[in-house]
A and B are shown apart, each in its own frame.
Chain A
């Protein structure tokens, strides 16, 4: 057998699994989105683009989209800013770096569901630490429209800033130290060095972290679903949560699939940007 054939043989199981758990279901979802499919009553008939027509007029879908975009934009910006501070700190300090790096990994290692529960307790209106530590009137964070989404953002930022920090740290460590030293000799202050040298050189790492996190934030489910269930008044309902409720709580597989495909399309746009940024550099020489 030629190496080429052997290679194909070796790759075959992985291809088969990926086709079975990724390609087939995504095509299936697109196909279902063209049906009225009420699982429990065995209603299943082709309706063409009816569901899509409904989707474009569905105010709940549009508000879920806006919620998701807002969540992603705010959360990712905060994660980048905080992650950069963490990375600079990790890069700059020598004593206690090990301790800090270990600490940074703690939120990352905690299951998302657990972190949502943990913050749910911190945000508890009666006994929560947050409500009691913040000055001013007590706010029911998880029960008040406008606040709840920001509580969810806090959870996401806490959970994923470490990941961003580690990527940025890797980026920082790739920047030659001499550049900074030379600039310092020329009389540049630390902020100036950060702004004119470090940040431009860190741009690829920042871009990767932003897109990577953006992808995750656009499909967010666990953290928000466990923290608020999409409430109050659906003000924290993201695309994934709306699709999930329609699919699994209502059992409306047709329309649920339509929302799921729409989510997929939104994520794909970001994913395309990411592939375009990253893949060319990885092609084997």
Chain B
């Protein structure tokens, strides 16, 4: 009996020792002098062009060992990654990507470095599109540099409707007309799952009804414009203009259905156009884009999306010059062009849209300039990261009919005010 036990104990101790060595092994070995770590989100597509760009940095900076780390491809999960690691004072990475809506939060929390001396706000405002520059400056300081942009668009089928609808009423009428001819078609697809994309969709509708995102320091949620917007989105579903599945759809579900020719309209980001025009696509040559519809027919405002590059506030001074050089390279006009041509990403630099190579190689991107100039950010507040969960919850409840829009907005307003510290 004793020997059995001793053998067993030996086994346990051995596994424990193995476990300990695995636990205590430094996994990412931070803080080595010559090392620079870039954290970015998946780019999709062929990795080679991006690798080549990084290779160029390595050639020009032989003393720096550049490493990359990938984020999960879910904006909410990535945000939580930054929350736990940057809050914990992590110096495991130096250059990081930030979603448009995170920059004020990260800046206020002291997680990202002030870049005003290398990238003065005035220079940014001159070189970049207005919404992109706005999103990275806060109280007269620069906290990040725009990397590439996204904007919400309306996609429509040129073979099914006469022209792009300018008002919501037109969109509904066009969809009905097309569906009486072919009842198997779906009307208008958009992203209604409880996630960040829904917030973009709802804000676009709110702006289309003349609403604003902020009223002073508060979020403007409990307003007639927002109620009208949510009522409209709910009505689209209840009247069958949008299929019930939109309440659980994200970008890809809607793109796949639209690209298979099953729908008349879709709201999506610019990437869907490249996919739709690819060979083998059922709607190749039968699809066009336009600004989103509004209540009164002026061109709609698309939500601004996209990624910015920032520098970790914990990055030591001796690594900062290299980090700045990397940010400069990745946000240069050449890099803008490369991301447009190779990855279909919209350049944030104004000059890129006049670039002959880009106009020739990616006309569908070049034509987006007027839409990007009208892009609007979701509310720019340091509390956005905390608010998005509230917005997602209540918007989702309103569009899926769990509670009336006005009530959902009241609830969202009360929670947001409490979080932002407004007097109750």
Chain A: residues with CB nearer than 8 A to chain B?
Answer: 36, 38-41, 43, 54, 58-60, 125, 140, 142-145, 229-235, 237, 245-246, 248-252, 255
Contact = CB atoms under 8 A, between A and B. Distances in A.
Across chains A and B, which 3 residue pairs bring their CB atoms closest together, nearest first?
A143-B248, A231-B194, A250-B386
A249 B418 contact: no
Contacts of B393: 60, 233-234, 237
B215 interface: no
Contacts of A36: 421
B328 interface: no
Contacts of A245: 389
Contacts of A60: 393, 411, 415
A59 B418 CA distance: 14
A40 B194 contact: no
Contacts of B87: 39-40, 251
B419 A250 contact: yes
B312 to A, nearest CB: 15
B83 interface: yes
Contacts of A231: 193-194, 248, 396
Contact of B382 (A41, A58, A140, A252): A41
Contacts of A250: 385-386, 389, 419
Contact of A125 (B108, B109, B248, B396): B248
A142 B402 CA distance: 15
A41 to B, nearest CB: 6
B191 to A, nearest CB: 12
Contacts of B415: 58, 60
A252 B396 contact: no
A43 B79 CA distance: 20
Contact of B193 (A54, A59, A143, A235): A143
Given A54-B418, A145-B400, A245-B389, A232 B411 contact: no
A131 B385 CA distance: 35
B397 interface: yes
Contacts of A58: 415
Given A237-B393, A249-B80, A250-B389, 13 more contacts: A144-B244, A145-B401, A232-B396, A233-B397, A233-B402, A234-B396, A235-B402, A248-B80, A249-B79, A249-B385, A250-B386, A252-B386, A255-B418
A252 B419 CA distance: 8
Nearest to B402: A233
Contacts of A229: 194
Most buried by B among A145, A245, A249: A249
Majority secondary structure of chain B interface residues (helix, strand, loop or mixed): helix
B84 interface: yes
A66 to B, nearest CB: 13
7 contacts: A40-B87, A125-B245, A144-B247, A229-B194, A233-B194, A233-B247, A233-B402
Nearest to B399: A233
Given A54-B418, A234-B393, A248-B84, A59 B411 contact: yes
A40 B247 contact: no
Interface string B55-84: 000000000000000000000100110011
B248 A251 contact: no
B245 A251 contact: no
A210 B87 CA distance: 41
Contacts of A39: 87
Given A248-B84, A249-B76, A251-B385, A140 B245 contact: yes
A245 B392 CA distance: 12
Nearest to A38: B386
Contacts of B84: 248
Nearest to B257: A126
Contact of A143 (B83, B105, B245, B402): B245
Contacts of A40: 83, 87, 105, 108-109, 111, 385
B385 A232 contact: no
Most buried by A among B80, B401, B402: B402
Interface in B171-207: 193-194
